[in-house]
Amino acid sequence: MAKKKVILTFPPALIEEPVTYNLIKNYDCQINILKATVRPKEKGRLVIELNGSKEAVNRGLQYLKEIGVQVEPLAQEVRHLKERCTSCSACIPHCPTAALSIDRAEMKVSFRRERCILCEACLPVCAYKAMEIEF
Ligand code: SF4
Ligand code: SF4
């Protein structure tokens, strides 16, 4: 079995297309949508985890590229650099999975890696560059 997390960017013409359905139905891939952003008449962005046999995943990725979907690998890891973090809490409302949370008693921000879906939402909001991404 193969597993790949990728970021898909759809041009406007493909937003209405049943791309994920096709991946499941025609390419035997299982899909877990981690994040979706669609702006009508602009472009769409999906963060997905593709599962299946190595061949199925490769064929699915090839299909996406052939129809014009931009495919980028998702970061391998997001790190919380404690020495830079001021526990300002600016990142907390942006984290969709509560991987970043604050201990109200101590006013200290902590990071639970197992909850992180690598969506990168915390990176631009941290003024102290305490969230780092590794590809
Ligand atoms: S925004 Fe940055 S400095 Fe502030 S709590 Fe989050 S990681 Fe720490
Ligand atoms: S990458 Fe996303 S899920 Fe992970 S800590 Fe940052 S905001 Fe939360």
Give the domain CATH number at 85. 3.30.70.20
Total domains present in the chain: 2
Kindly state whether residues 95 and 68 are assigned to the same domain.
no
Query: Is the C-beta atom of 116 inside 6 A of ligand 2?
Result: yes
Sign of CA dihedral 125, 128, 134, 135: positive
CA of 54 to the centre of ligand 1 (A): 38
Q: Are 105 and 42 in contact (CB under 8 A)?
A: no
Kindly state whether residues 49 and 97 are assigned to the same domain.
no
Kindly state whether residues 106 and 65 are assigned to the same domain.
no
What is the predicted pLDDT for the residue at 40? 66
pLDDT digits (tens, 9 = 90+) for 35-87: 888 776 677 888 899 999 999 999 999 999 999 999 988 877 899 999 999 99
Q: Are 64 and 14 in contact (CB under 8 A)?
A: no
Residues 6+ away with beta carbon under 8 Å from 98 = 112, 115
Domain that includes residue 93, residue range: 77-134
Please give the model's pTM, rounded to 2 decimal places.
0.59
Query: Is the C-beta atom of 15 inside 6 A of ligand 1?
Result: no
- Measured from the Cα of 94, ligand 2's closest atom is 7
pLDDT digits (tens, 9 = 90+) for 2-18: 888 898 998 888 888 89
Question: Which ranges in the chain belong to alpha helices (H)?
Answer: 19-27, 54-67
Kindly state whether residues 54 and 31 are assigned to the same domain.
yes
Kindly state whether residues 96 and 129 are assigned to the same domain.
yes
Separation of alpha carbons 12 and 70, rounded Å: 12
